[in-house]
């Protein structure tokens, strides 16, 4: 630790590092529990299936954790996450329209990997265009952004359901299987492609993490310190949309997961620096998806989807946050 930090600051920093280590250990423990406990059928079959599921949970957890913390910073608010702003609903919409426009025939000729890449690219393009404009116009007004996000989430969801009614039953089925890449079987190729996209996304964030620290000072504060604000924000939006796509492709849309994960990370790590925040948030993301899925699979016997469980808890948390920030 270089000079220039007081003993109290050193202690705070040590605490942050220890918390991250503890979170990673917890994540690994949860993964081991998921992988090895409660095996009933064939050992090798179960191990193979669960390894793919564990992979999917890790990738989704990391994507959600990282994208949410970064999004909170560029949105300048702790209650705005990609989920709250309707990003994952947008993913479903984009997919539905791809099927709607090209039909399932085209859809089927694409490999899983190609499809994942096409989807991610389409979502990223559309997401960046949409949300960049929005940020520039309303970046000062938090309530407007929250409202727009919720309206857009609902709009995207109803547009998707409308478009899916217009599909033929065959198209509809192939859409469903493409969308909610049935977590119970997890396609190995899909997982590999999505993992690569996620890794690339995280790597792209590394050079801007220190800029993000300064962006926490707000638009004007960051400009005064010479941060290329618009460039960094656009870059981060690009990565965030890609990460949302990968997470959604694996576990489906879970609106409030990111909100809970990112805020927990900020609360537990007690730092404004993004290097530890992003790592900690990724670990918390993994812990929550794995424990959530454990509860769903082992305790609730798959009777309730993960998204429902998370959204009940997350939705209450979101309300509490909004009430506290806004004091209605």
Partner 1 sequence: MIELSGVTKTYDGQAVLTEVDVTIPRGRLTALVGPNGAGKSTLFGIASRLIVADAGHVTVDDLDIARARNEEVARRLAVLRQDNTLAARLSVADLVRFGRFPHSKGRLTADDHRIVAAAIAELELEPFRDRFLDQLSGGQRQRAFIAMVLAQDTDYVLLDEPLNNLDLRHSVQMMRRLRSLVDDHAKTIALVLHDVNFASAHADHIVALRDGIVVAQGPPEQIITPEVLSEVYEVDVSVLDHDGQRVAVYFR
- CB burial readout 80-115, b (16+ within 10 A) else e: bbbbbbbbbbbbbbbbbebbbeeebeebeebebeeb
Query: How wide is the angle at C-alpha 153 spanned by C-alphas 148 and 157, nearest 5°?
Result: 145
Asked whether position 24 contacts partner 1 by CB under 8 A, the answer is: no
Q: Which stretch binds partner 1 (CB under 8 A): 73-81, 102-110, 148-156, 239-247?
A: 73-81
Least gap, CB of 326 to partner 1 (angstroms):
15
Asked whether position 33 contacts partner 1 by CB under 8 A, the answer is: no
Residues in 267-306 at the binding interface with partner 1, rule: CB under 8 A: 272
Least gap, CB of 198 to partner 1 (angstroms):
25
Alpha-carbon gap, residue 79 to 223, rounded angstroms: 23
Residues in 77-106 at the binding interface with partner 1, rule: CB under 8 A: 77-78
CB closer to partner 1, 50 vs 211: 211
Least gap, CB of 143 to partner 1 (angstroms):
15
Asked whether position 3 contacts partner 1 by CB under 8 A, the answer is: yes
Contact letters for partner 1, residues 206-235 (x by CB under 8 A): ----xx-xx-xxx-xx-xxxxxxx------
3-state secondary structure of 227: coil
294: Cβ–Cβ under 8 A, 6 or more apart, which residues?
A: 30, 33, 34
Least gap, CB of 63 to partner 1 (angstroms):
23
224: Cβ–Cβ under 8 A, 6 or more apart, which residues?
A: none
State phi, psi for 201 to the nearest 5 degrees: -60, -50
Alpha-carbon gap, residue 81 to 149, rounded angstroms: 9
Q: Kindly list the residues in this chain that would bind partner 1 in the complex (CB under 8 A).
A: 2-6, 8-9, 73, 76-78, 210-211, 213-214, 216-218, 220-221, 223-229, 272
């Amino acid at each position: 630790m270089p000079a220039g930090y007081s003993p109290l600051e050193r202690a705070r920093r040590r605490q942050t590092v220890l918390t991250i280590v503890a979170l990673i250990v917890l994540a690994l423990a949860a993964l081991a529990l998921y992988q090895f406990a409660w095996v009933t059928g064939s050992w090798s079959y179960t191990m193979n299936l669960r390894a793919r599921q564990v992979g999917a949970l890790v990738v989704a957890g990391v994507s959600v954790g990282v994208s949410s913390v970064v999004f909170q910073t560029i949105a300048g608010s702790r209650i705005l996450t990609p989920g709250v702003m309707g990003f994952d609903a947008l993913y479903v919409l984009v997919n539905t329209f791809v099927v709607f426009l090209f039909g399932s025939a085209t859809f089927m000729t694409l490999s899983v990997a190609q499809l994942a890449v096409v989807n991610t690219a389409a979502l990223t393009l559309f997401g960046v265009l949409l949300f960049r404009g929005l940020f520039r116009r309303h970046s000062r007004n938090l309530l407007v952004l929250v409202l727009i996000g919720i309206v857009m989430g609902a709009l995207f969801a109803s547009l998707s359901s409308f478009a899916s009614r217009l599909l033929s039953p065959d198209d509809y089925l192939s859409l469903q299987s493409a969308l909610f890449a049935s977590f119970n079987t997890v396609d190995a190729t899909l997982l590999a492609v999505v993992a690569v996209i996620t890794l690339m996304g995280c790597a792209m964030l590394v050079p801007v993490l220190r800029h993000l620290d300064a962006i926490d000072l707000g638009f004007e504060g960051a400009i005064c310190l010479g941060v290329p604000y618009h460039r960094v924000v656009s870059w981060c939006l690009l990565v965030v949309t890609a990460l949302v796509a990968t997470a959604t492709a694996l576990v489906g849309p879970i609106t409030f997961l990111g909100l809970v994960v990112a805020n927990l990370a900020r609360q537990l790590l007690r730092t404004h620096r993004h290097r530890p925040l992003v790592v900690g948030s990724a670990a918390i993301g993994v812990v929550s998806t794995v424990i959530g899925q454990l509860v769903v699979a082992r305790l609730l016997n798959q009777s309730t989807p993960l998204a429902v469980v998370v959204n009940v808890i997350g939705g209450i948390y979101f309300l509490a946050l909004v009430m506290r920030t806004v004091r209605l």
